[in-house]
Chain A
Amino acid sequence: MAETSHGTGGLTFDAKKRSWPNEANVFIALILILLAFEALGMTFRDQSFLFDFNEARDGTILNMARIKIIILQVSIVGIIALGATQVIISGGIDLSAGSVVGLTAMVTMSFAQTGMVNGNPNPKSLFGPEWMDLPVILPVLLGLIVGIGAGMINGLLIAFTRIPPFIATLGMMVAARGAAQWWSRGQPVSFPTESFAAIGDGMMPVVWFAGLAILFHLILKYTVYGKHTYAIGSNEDAARMSGIKVARHKTLVYAIAGALAGFSAIVLASKNLTAQTGMGLMYELDAIAMAVIGGVSLSGGRGSIIGTCIGALIFGVIISGFTFLRLDAYYQEMVKGVIIVGAVVLDQWRQQRASLKG
């Protein structure tokens, strides 16, 4: 410190000083929760949560089956959480993602149906035989278009009518769910082609989630899109004075969130081999919770994709942990609620301490 202190007005210059990343705190929380389940498991069930001491296993000491399930069950909502992360960083919120998943799943599945099921004509056929067995690219593109369209309407409403994001996306949440029900008059749409079913088969949702997480991490960190998203969430007036086209940028942010919700619907429909009007219910809240647990600030400007991914893992660990402890799903929801509130309280407490020090 001494040799670098050559500032005016008593200020010193220390270029090597690095701050403790917020993601590290979230990661520690994940480890603590894992340890807690490990201890509880050993105490009450005489069984390890994460490890497998049975020698006949596939070489690794970790319980890979459990780890796979943990990641798999958060992957689809995790894709939505990537979109939610950038929306929240820009200072907004997107409540419509779950309903957009419902609508997109219906639309995409309607064009992904196969003609023959076990030698019989498809019993759930929506549009008749000429709309069957289409190339897989068509339902995927249509699904993405529906997602992007819904997101763009959100973005345009927020950017140009200046209504709060909460209201605009609440409207979309109700409207998109209605549209999902209208699409097939409430009937489920099922039996996709083999190539469509491959999109969400097995561990594929994890592959999509991981790939998109890396992509969006790079976008938020290294592109001007990411920089401006942080700037708008941090100080919208400063962003505008610096020449950033705020309205256009916000529209893009919501459109990308819509695209991710749409893609998550495609994976979900493919994995379940069916689309129902109630699909994706409350997904938006789970996605927001993953982001918030991962340290994304609801007041905008702060957070990261890495944080959200750890937040998603915490989510998955809690669900698996409760199942492992044979506790009712009711407790899961209650504890999830406590953790969401706790994450925000911790974040605020940390901020206050940081600003007092500064």
Chain B
Amino acid sequence: MSDIILETQDLTKHYGGVHALTGANFTLRAGEHVAIMGDNGAGKSTFVRQLTGVEVPTRGKLIFDGKERHFENPMDARDAGIETVFQTLALADDLNVPDNLFLGREIFKIRLGPFSILDYKAMREATIAGLEKTAVKIPNINNTIRNMSGGQRQCVAIARTATFHSKLTIMDEPTAALGVQETAQVENIIRTLKEAGEPLILISHNMRQVMDLCDRIVVFRRGRMVANLAKGDTDGQDVVAYITGAKTQPEYNFEVS
């Protein structure tokens, strides 16, 4: 039994002549929190889009949860157990918390095609369980998202992960638009996920946050992975050197070869 949750081999995405991502070999172990860093256009978002089914890779293998996967769309990835908190929140403002969490995968009391009857009670209970698991506090889950702060909205998006017992959570800049207090709240939730042994891929520009929350840092530059650093062996300055191109780990030294 391998404890590798996610593995990519030679994952590559070209948009015509633009090589957005080339030959990414990435592994994620059970319970591990890995940060992905890199400048704008370094390929980290492209990498994540291949994992979440938003785009289909040009070539390469994606092995998740022991099986090779070919995600055609975000639903495929979600059904396989990859939950993504997108930079632009995919929430419907006029729906309340349970309705948003279960949007597109509702629980039914009676199945009648498009007029299937919703099981509000089951969805509410699952939502409360999910919120408790992540220690997310929302003033009132019956409130619509419209009436919530940015931090609360982000928490709702993250709570989806816990509610659906997903096997991997990916967060794309979850605190970029938040204030100090709200950022602290989201970080607390990420710590709760860590304690629960839930694996996570975190894309972030915030060095302090990455050093606080993650076990390993993977750096992308110009469409390629250039470093794979255990937190204990590195520090902020070292990581920045990899991001800017001052350093490249020998095993990734593609520029010379």
Tell me which residues across on chain B come within 8 A of A243, comparing CB atoms: 74-75, 78, 104-105
Is the C-beta of B108 less than 8 angstroms from some C-beta in chain A?
yes
A252 to B113 Cα, complex, angstroms:
12
* Chain B interface category by residue count: 35 or more
Report the minimum CB–CB distance from A88 to chain B (whole Å).
Answer: 13
Name the residue of chain A whose CB is nearest to the CB of B131. A13
Grouping DSSP codes into helix (H, G, I), strand (E, B) and loop, the B interface class, with mixed when no group exceeds half, is loop
Interface code A1-15, partner B: CB below 8 Å = 1, 0 otherwise?
000001111111111
Contact between chains at B148 and A358 (CB < 8 Å): yes
Residues B148 and A18 in contact, CB atoms below 8 Å apart: no
Q: Do the beta carbons of A230 and B74 come within 8 Å of each other? A: no
The 0/1 profile, CB within 8 Å of A marked 1, for residues 129-156 of chain B is 0000001011111110011110110000
Q: A7-B137, A19-B143 are in contact. Are A233 and B94 (CB under 8 A)?
A: yes
CB contacts under 8 Å to A, within B179-193, are 181-182, 184-185, 188
Flag if B181 contacts A10 (CB, 8 Å): yes
Chain B residues whose C-beta falls within 8 Å of the C-beta of A233 in the assembled complex? 94
- Chain B CB count within 10 A is highest, among A7, A233, A243, for A243
Binds A, one of B32-40, B61-69, B85-93, B238-246: B85-93
* 184-231 of chain A: CB within 8 A of chain B: 219, 222-225, 227, 230-231
Q: How far is the CA of A301 from the CA of B145 in the complex (A)?
A: 12
B92 touches A238 (CB 8 A): yes
Given known contacts A223-B115, A224-B108, A234-B95, is B90 in contact with A242 (CB within 8 Å)?
yes
Residue B176 lies at the interface, judged by CB distance under 8 Å to chain A: no
Interface contact B118-A227, CB-CB below 8 Å: yes
A-B contact count (CB 8 A): 118
Q: In this assembly, does A355 line the interface, its C-beta being within 8 Å of a C-beta of chain B?
A: yes
- Name the contact of B149 in the complex, choosing from A227, A234, A354, A358 (C-beta under 8 A): A358
The reply to whether B117 and A223 form a contact with Cβ atoms under 8 Å apart is: yes
Chain A to chain B contacts (Cβ below 8 Å), 28 pairs: A7-B137, A8-B188, A9-B137, A9-B151, A9-B181, A9-B185, A11-B137, A13-B139, A14-B140, A15-B140, A17-B140, A19-B143, A223-B117, A224-B115, A224-B118, A225-B114, A227-B95, A230-B95, A234-B93, A235-B91, A235-B92, A238-B89, A243-B74, A243-B75, A244-B103, A249-B114, A252-B114, A358-B148
Q: Name B's A-contacting residues (CB within 8 A).
A: 74-75, 78, 86, 88-95, 99, 103-106, 108, 112, 114-118, 120, 135, 137-143, 146-149, 151-152, 181-182, 184-185, 188
Given A301-B93, A354-B146, output 6 extra A-B contacts at Cβ < 8 Å: A8-B137, A9-B185, A224-B108, A224-B115, A227-B103, A238-B103
